[in-house]
Amino acid sequence: MIAAEARQPPAFLPPLSAEPDPPSIVVGVTHPQTCLVLKGRLRALREAGFRVTLVSSPGRLLDCIAEEEGVESVSIPIERKIAPIADLASLVRLWRLLRKIKPGVVEFSTPKAGLLGTLAAMLCGVPTRVYMLRGLKLETATGLKRFVLLAAERLAASCAHSVLCNSESLRAKAFALGVAPARKLHLLGNGSSNGVDSIRFSPGRSSVRARLGLARDAFVIGFVGRLTRDKGLPELARAFDAILRAEPKAHLLLVGWFDKAEDALEDGLRAHIENHPHIHWTGFVEDAAPYYRAMDVMVLPTWREGFPNAVLEAASTGVPVITTVSTGSRDSVVPEVTGLLIPPGHPAAITEAVLKLLHDPERRRRLGRAARAWVIEYYANGHVLGLTVAYYKSLLNLAPGESVRTAQVPQFVNPGRWRTAPAARVYAAQPQ
Phi, psi of 422 (to 5 degrees): -50, -40
Are 224 and 285 within 8 A, CB to CB?
Answer: no
- Tally of residues, the chain: 432
Residue 422 has pLDDT above 90, yes or no: no
pLDDT attached to residue 322 = 98
Q: Are 375 and 316 in contact (CB under 8 A)?
A: yes
Average pLDDT over residues 45-61: 95
The residue-averaged pLDDT of 270-274 equals 96
| 63-70: long-range pairs with CB below 8 Å, 24+ | 65/35, 65/36, 65/38, 65/39, 66/35, 66/42, 68/39, 69/38, 69/39, 69/40, 69/42, 69/43, 70/42, 70/43, 70/46
Dist. CA 243–CA 357, nearest whole Å: 12
Q: Inform me whether the pLDDT recorded for 414 exceeds 60.
A: no
134-165 tens-digit pLDDT: 999 999 999 999 999 999 999 999 999 999 99
Task: Give the strand order in the sheet containing 321-324.
Answer: 279-281, 250-255, 219-224, 297-300, 321-324, 339-342
What average pLDDT does this structure show over 33-52? Answer: 93
Of 260-264, 321-325, 359-363, the one with minimum mean pLDDT is 260-264
Could you give the percent of the chain with pLDDT greater than 90?
A: 81
Looking at residue 64, what is its pLDDT? 94
Q: Is the pTM of this model over 0.75?
A: yes
Helix axes 361-378, 309-316, angle to 10 degrees: 110
Does the pLDDT of residue 428 top 90, yes or no? Answer: no
Query: For the chain, what is the mean pLDDT?
Result: 88
| Domains in the chain with CATH codes | 24-194+380-397 (3.40.50.2000), 208-377+419-425 (3.40.50.2000)
Between CA 214 and CA 291 the distance in angstroms is 13
Residues 68-102 have pLDDT tens digits of: 999 999 999 999 888 889 999 999 999 999 999 99
| DSSP states along 276-333 | -TTEEE----S--HHHHHT-SEEEE--S--SS-HHHHHHHHTT--EEEESSTTGGGG-
Chain segment 102-130, per-residue pLDDT in tens: 999 999 999 999 999 999 999 999 999 99
Quick check: 153 and 138 in contact, CB under 8 A? yes
Residues facing 131 on adjacent strands: 108, 163
pLDDT surpasses 80 at 403? no
With cut-offs at 50, 70 and 90, classify the pLDDT of residue 396: confident
